[in-house]
Amino acid sequence: MPLRRKLIPLLIAALSLAACGRDSGPGGQPAASAATRHTIDANSSVARTLPLEDMRDFEDARRGFIASDAPLLIAGPDGRAAWDLEGYAFVQGDAPPTVNPSLWRQAKLDGHHGLFEVVPGIHQVRGYDLSNMTLIAGRTGWIVVDPLTVAETAAAAMALARRHLGDRPVSAVIFTHSHVDHFGGVDGVLPPGAASVPVVAPAGFMEEATSENVLAGVAMGRRALYMYGAALPRSAVGHVDTGLGKGVPFGTVGIREPTIIVDRTPQQMELDGVRFIFQNAPHSEAPATLTFYLPDHKAWGSADLVPHTLHNLYTLRGTKVRDALEWSRHIDRAIELFGDMEVMFGGHQWPIWGNARALDHLRAHRDAYRYIHDQTLRLANQGHTPREIAEQLELPSALRTRFGTRDYYGTVRHNAKAVYQAYFGWYDANPANLDPLPPAEAAGKYVAAMGGADKVLELARAAHDAGEDRWAAMLLDHLVFTAPSHAAARELLAAVYEQLGYRAESGPWRDAYLTGALELRDDIQGTTIDPRRAIGLLRNTPVERFLDSMTVRLDGPAADGKHLKFNFVFTDVDETYVLELENAVLRHRRAEPAPDADATVRLTRELLLRLGVGEAGIKELVMSDELEVQGSRLKLLDFLSLLDKPDGRFPIVTP
Ligand SMILES: [Zn+2]
């Protein structure tokens, strides 16, 4: 069923954040190993070197608390929980030996949830989603900033606010940036068909939000499972926190077309009687981003520029690298423009009150990205390559010891590699790395050279016993890649990954290691996506993006030597595209129907959507009244059979 599956990359991309796997609970999970002596030592040394007794962040995370739902359990679209904070009830007291105490502290902070007053006139609902919803009191209603990831959590957050603050309408919506956790829940606050209100977004928002990662979505959806630990139990040996918030919600994703675009800095406007000064901050944390200042409250809405963690210049699920310099410059510009702020609040986590503390936080983040950028290039200019740079780069002492710029979400190590990648790409200039053997082939030769599987296992066990788990992982990765059914090798590699996960300060690093361990033991190769949940988003996606996703599906070798041409006429949006396959490349162009096409296909965009989300199949397509084929039906079917059907269940920790 080629057509049925052809749009999935886009859909998975749309849901890569919303792709939650199993529910919590250790039922049926293979036993995880206990923390080794080396892990216990490593974690206690973290506890000794950080001021874990400093309660300032906890006071801020609780400040202004009004109310919450208890238990906080939000129903999803198909009976599964959209959001379940009860699963994290185990996160209390001192860190268990299987969790880095710094991450444990962050996990406790991120567990605060409810409706909070930031200052009179500004409220936030936090802990109802990965992200925050902010409500600003306007003259007639609420200006809602960032309506969470999915409609279900957004509706629950809105209901909580209405119960305690009064039943006011939504008078405007602001999308701070193009990531789905900041707009996807819009249908929960502005039901489809509700009276239209101003919708403010940064320049490029719609294009970035609907097309981000269209082409790479399948692999990204699979990789996101590792990054967010969606398949892991929530427990002291499983997922504890993302570093940026508790987890990823599950539910219905939508979008709304902006009516007001922020495309300059500063850009002043009044929304429902409230004065705003906007900052357009593109190419920072997201390609389309804004921040805003409320001069009458002296309050700065920071979007995702400066959360209580070092953020990602490179995201482990796989995205284009972000621009460290631009990010740093936009923070500096905010300091310059809004330097009299008395409070700052963002898209994740808790606010910071007081001018000196807020600016101190901004300066630390500005300088952290700048430091990673500048020092990576300094070391590269001395000839160091990515792994060497990452191994030695540390933030300066003033930034290293403050919690707000630590490695909870992004890490200095992988961000340094991102800076290298931005300037130099994948090649480190060592010809040994120009054309090395692929992993499985190299693994076989390494294992043979080391004396065979038993010898490698023995070496790896010794390394693991000595606490050298990074080295043990390298050895065992070779062994598993040449002997994937070697049970002892898989089990030891799983145990090694677990120790690395238990020591990780970063939520995504922990989840990556522990998901690797889980898949070595359980052979799970999952990605759990229901694209029907994103139909609201897809309705706003340009036809070109759907066709783009088709071009990267074309099986090149199978298409070699074929020459086919079709007119695709979308009758409902009155757009015609000419698709031509030649040189094993599928091109599409919006144009008048080509007279020499093999067939002209008339269909609706809506049919394409239904096919994409699996509500209609190829049979329906061919039989449908909505689809009309003039010309060669056979050639059309031949063409459709050339499109790949990846299901995103490829192996990662095995060959
Ligand atoms: Zn975010």
Q: How far is the CA of 179 from the centre of ligand 1 (A)?
A: 6
Q: Tens of pLDDT along 317-371? A: 998 899 999 999 999 999 999 999 999 999 999 999 999 999 999 999 999 999 9
Distance, CA of 184 to CA of 196 (rounded, Å): 17
Residue 25 pLDDT more than 60? no
Q: How far is the CA of 308 from the centre of ligand 1 (A)?
A: 12
Q: How far is the CA of 411 from the centre of ligand 1 (A)?
A: 16
Q: How far is the CA of 463 from the centre of ligand 1 (A)?
A: 39
What's the whole-number average pLDDT of the chain?
91
Distance, CA of 132 to CA of 303 (rounded, Å): 10
Amino acid at 271: L
First to last CA, the chain: 27
List the beta strands (DSSP E) in 237-313: 260-262, 267-271, 274-280, 290-294, 299-301
> Which of 113-117, 148-152, 638-642 has the weakest average pLDDT?
638-642
Q: Are 4 and 550 in contact (CB under 8 A)?
A: no
Mean pLDDT throughout 6-21?
Answer: 35
Q: How far is the CA of 395 from the centre of ligand 1 (A)?
A: 23
Distance, CA of 168 to CA of 159 (rounded, Å): 11
Q: Tens of pLDDT along 233-288? A: 999 999 999 999 999 998 999 999 999 999 999 999 999 999 999 999 999 999 99
Q: How far is the CA of 469 from the centre of ligand 1 (A)?
A: 32
Instruction: Indicate the pairing of strand 122-126 with strand 114-119.
Output: antiparallel
Q: How far is the CA of 430 from the centre of ligand 1 (A)?
A: 37
Q: Are 206 and 540 in contact (CB under 8 A)?
A: yes
What's the longest Cα–Cα distance across the chain? 77
Residue 169 pLDDT more than 90? yes
Amino acid at 412: V
Main-chain dihedrals φ then ψ at residue 510, nearest 5 degrees: -60, -50
Q: How far is the CA of 196 from the centre of ligand 1 (A)?
A: 25
Which pLDDT does position 361 carry in this prediction? 98
Which pLDDT does position 619 carry in this prediction? 60
Distance, CA of 629 to CA of 75 (rounded, Å): 43
Mean pLDDT throughout 193-214?
Answer: 88
**pTM (predicted TM-score):** 0.94
Residue 623 pLDDT more than 80? no
Which pLDDT does position 18 carry in this prediction? 34
Q: pLDDT band at 4, cuts 50/70/90? A: very low
